[in-house]
Structure 1
Amino acid sequence: MMKKADNKNRITIKDIASAANVSISTVSKVMNGTGSISQHTKAKITRVINDMDYRPSELARSLHQKKTYTIGLLSSDGYGRFSLPILKGIESALAEAQISVFLCNASGSPQEFKRHIDSLLAKHVDGIIVTAAKTDKREPLYLKNNTPVVYAYTDVDDDNAMCVLPDDFGAGELACQHLIEQGCKNIVHITGPEHFMAVQQRAAGCQKMLMAQGLPGFPLCYGSWTSQHGYSAIRDLLAQGIEIDGVITGNDLIGHGVLQALYEYPKSVPGDVSVVSFDNWQVITELCRPTLSSIDFQLKELGRIAGECLIEKIDGQDRRGKIMVPCYLQPGESSCKYSQA
C-alpha cells in the first residue's frame, strides 16, 4: 500500500519518482507541464500522485517557476449579482492550474480602487481580472510591471486589451425572435436607463429582428432597473390604448412588475400578452407567477473563459481583442403559449 503524506512523513517528488519507476526530472516535467512525455507515462505519474496524496510545496513551486500562483479579481459590483457567478467560472478555470484568487471589492472611490491594485501588486499576483456590475466602457489599467490583465463583463478602449463580454445585441435578437415565434406582432420594450451600453445593444438587436420580420418598431420605455418601473410603464402603455401582445423587459425585476400589472389589469399571460426578460436571476424568475421566461448570459461560462484567457496571458501568449459569450433562453410560463397546448 502506498504511503500517504502527513506532517511527520511528507511525501517528496523523489518518493513519487520511485513509486512510478521514473526519474525525478520526468515527474517534474509532468507536474510543470513541460517537456515531451508520453500519455501513458503522464497517466501513470498522475495516478501515483493522487494515490499518495502528494501536495507540492507552494513556496518551492513559486521560487522554481517565478510565479505566486495567485491572481486578483477587482470587482466594482458591490452586490455581487454578476461578479459571484463570474468568480465561480474563474475558479473553475484556475482549479487545474492550482491558482488561487484574491477577491477585492472595488465599488467605492477611485482611491479605494487604487489601494486594491497596489495591494495586489505588492502580493506579486500573476495576473488581474477586472469585472463590474455593467458592461459599459471603463478606463483600462496601465500597470508599470506589465502584469497581465483581462476584463470580464466590462469593456475598455484599448486595442491591446483582452475583454470577455456577454452578447447583448444577440440577446435582444433572441428575446424578440422568441416572442415572434409565439405569434406576437405588437411588442413593447420596457428597460433600464438609456445610457447603459447593454440597454442600447439589446434594443438594437430587438429592432433588427423586427425589421427582418417586417414588423413595426416598438415603444421603448426607459427607466430604473426596478419592479416599480415595469409596473408603472406597462400600465401607462395600456392606459394609452396601445395594442400589446408581447413585452421584452430589461431585467427580471422589471419583468416582475410587468407581470403584476398585467394580472391586475387584467390581461392573461401568456394568453393575451407574452413576457420575456433578461438575466435569468432565478431568485426572481421562479417566484414570479407565472414563472418568467428570461435570457441567460452564461456568466459562469464568461468567467471560465476570462480565467483561461488570463492563464494564457500569464504563460506569455498574446491574447487581445473581444470575446462575445453567447446567451440562451430559459423558457418559463410567461411566454411559451404553444408549449402549454
Structure 2
Amino acid sequence: MRPPAVRMVDVAALAGVSAGTASKALNNTGQLSQETRDRVRQAAERLGFTPDSRGRALSSGRTYTVALLTTDSTGRFSIPIMRGVEDVLSAGELATVLCDTRDDPLRELTYLRSMVARGVDGFVVTGRRTEPRRPIDVPIPVVYALAASSNPSDASVIVDDAGGAAAAITHLLGLGRQRIAHITGPPNHRSATARAEAVVSTAGDTLCLEPLYGEWSERWGRQATDVVLRQRPDAISCGSDQIARGVCDRLRELGHSVPEDIAVTGYDNWSVMALASRPPLTTVDPCLEDLGRRAATLLLKAIAGKRHRGVLELPARLITRESTLGPAW
C-alpha cells in the first residue's frame, strides 16, 4: 500500500505554525518573517511535501502558466528566448507553453482564445523579425520580445542592433583595417537596415562602398564577395553569420587568407554557422536568452500589478574569434 500523502497540516505541525501560515510561506504570499518561511520550507522538504497545483490555482486565481507566442517556426530565435523565459519562470514554479502561429493570423487568434480560456497568467510574444508588430488584444499581461509592439505604451524588450554592428566595426578599426565593406540581408528588414546604418556611421571614410543588401544566406555571401573584392577591402562586415560564412568560403576559393588578407565579421553568434565557419567567426551575440529572461521578469512584475511601459533596449555583445584575430590570438 502507498503511504498516505503528506498534507499541509502535517507541514504546519512540524514547523509549529498554522496551516494558513504554512500555505502562505510555501506560496510566497502574506507578510511573514523570513525565519518563518525558511522553517516551513525546511519542514516541507523534510516530509517530502508536494504542493497540490490545483489547490494552489484555486486559492490564487492563477494557473501558473505563461504562453510564449511566436511566428518563428524554425525556433532559431524563439528557442533561445524561451530558454531565458523558462530560467525565470521555473524559479517561480511557472510552466511555459509554446504556441507557433506560423505567421497565420487565424492560427494566432485561435491560440489567443485558447490560452485565455485556459487561464494562462500572461503572454510573451516573439518571432523571427525585429519589425514592430501589432499588439495582441487580450485581458492579461503581455510582454513583447525581439520585436516591439507598435503600441509605445506596451512593454517591449529588444536588442540594440545598431550598437552591436557598431561594436564590430570599432573592433575592425582597432585592428587597423582601413577599407571596410558591408554585406547584409533584405533592405525591407529592420535588422538589416539598422545594422547597415550603424556600419556607415561608425566606419566613416573607411567604408569602401555602400552596403550591399541581399539575402540572409551563404549563397548571397559568396555572390556579394565577388562584387566587394573589386574595391580591394581589407575587412568585410556581414549582417548575419550565414552571410559571413559564405564570404569566408568564397574568399578561400579565390585564394584570399582570412584574416591575414581580409578580416570578416558576422552577426547573431549562431553556433551552427559561427563555429563551423573556416575560420570560426568573430560575431555579434544578440544575447537572446538574456532577452527572454528580461521579458519574463517584466511579465512577472506585470502579473503582480507592476506593469512596465515602453521599450527596453538590451546591449549585444561582440565575440572575437579567428576570422579577425587569426589562430594565434
Same-fold call, TM cutoff 0.5: yes
* Corresponding residue for residue 94 of structure 1: 89
Instruction: Evaluate the alpha carbon distance shift between residue 73 and residue 7 of structure 1 in structure 2; reply closer, same or farther with a 3 A threshold.
Output: farther
* Corresponding residue for residue 192 of structure 1: 185
Q: Which of residues 254, 258, 267 is equivalent to 2:256?
A: 267
* Corresponding residue for residue 20 of structure 1: 15
Shift of 1:26: 2.4
The answer to whether the 8 Å contact 2:180/2:203 transfers is no
CA–CA distance in structure 2, aligned partners of residues 209 and 217 of structure 1:
13
* Corresponding residue for residue 284 of structure 1: 273
CA–CA distance in structure 2, aligned partners of residues 284 and 203 of structure 1:
20
CA–CA distance in structure 1, aligned partners of residues 91 and 7 of structure 2:
20
* Corresponding residue for residue 313 of structure 2: 324
SS at match of 1:81: coil
CA–CA distance in structure 2, aligned partners of residues 109 and 269 of structure 1:
42
Question: How many matched pairs?
Answer: 329
The answer to whether the 8 Å contact 1:129/1:310 transfers is yes
Shift of 1:181: 1.4
* Corresponding residue for residue 245 of structure 1: 234
SS at match of 1:104: strand
The answer to whether the 8 Å contact 2:298/2:307 transfers is no
Instruction: Give 5+ residue unaligned stretches, structure 1.
Output: 1-5
Amino acid aligned to 2:267: F
Q: Which of residues 175, 182, 196 is equivalent to 1:182?
A: 175
Normalized against structure 2, the TM-score is what?
Answer: 0.95
Q: Compare 18-27 and 277-286 and name the one that shifted more.
A: 18-27
Amino acid aligned to 1:208: S
Q: Deviations over 1:44-66 (max 9, x none)?
A: 22222223222111111111111
Q: Which of residues 216, 234, 253 is equivalent to 2:225?
A: 234
Amino acid aligned to 1:225: W
CA–CA distance in structure 2, aligned partners of residues 97 and 120 of structure 1:
20
SS at match of 2:277: coil
Shift of 1:217: 6.4
CA–CA distance in structure 2, aligned partners of residues 216 and 81 of structure 1:
31
* Corresponding residue for residue 3 of structure 1: none
* Corresponding residue for residue 123 of structure 2: 128
Q: How does 1:67-106 map to 2 (within 5 A)?
A: 67-106=62-101
Q: How does 1:38-53 map to 2 (within 5 A)?
A: 38-53=33-48
Structure 2 residue 213 is the aligned partner of structure 1 residue 222:
yes
Amino acid aligned to 1:237: V
The answer to whether the 8 Å contact 1:85/1:303 transfers is yes
CA–CA distance in structure 1, aligned partners of residues 185 and 308 of structure 2:
33
* Corresponding residue for residue 166 of structure 2: 173
Q: Deviations over 1:152-200 (max 9, x none)?
A: 1112221220111111011111111111111111111100001111112
CA–CA distance in structure 2, aligned partners of residues 105 and 182 of structure 1:
43
CA–CA distance in structure 1, aligned partners of residues 234 and 244 of structure 2:
15
* Corresponding residue for residue 311 of structure 1: 300
Instruction: Give 5+ residue unaligned stretches, structure 2.
Output: none
The answer to whether the 8 Å contact 2:180/2:236 transfers is yes
RMSD in angstroms over aligned alpha carbons? 1.7
Structure 2 residue 328 is the aligned partner of structure 1 residue 340:
yes
- Identity over the aligned pairs, expressed in percent? 33
SS at match of 1:335: helix
The answer to whether the 8 Å contact 1:210/1:217 transfers is no
Q: Deviations over 1:180-227 (max 9, x none)?
A: 11111111110000111111211222223224xx64464311001110
Normalized against structure 1, the TM-score is what?
Answer: 0.92
Shift of 1:130: 0.9
The answer to whether the 8 Å contact 2:26/2:37 transfers is no
CA–CA distance in structure 1, aligned partners of residues 145 and 207 of structure 2:
35
Amino acid aligned to 2:176: G
* Corresponding residue for residue 119 of structure 1: 114
Shift of 1:7: 5.7
CA–CA distance in structure 1, aligned partners of residues 98 and 23 of structure 2:
31
SS at match of 1:156: coil
Instruction: Evaluate the alpha carbon distance shift between residue 108 and residue 215 of structure 1 in structure 2; reply closer, same or farther with a 3 A threshold.
Output: closer
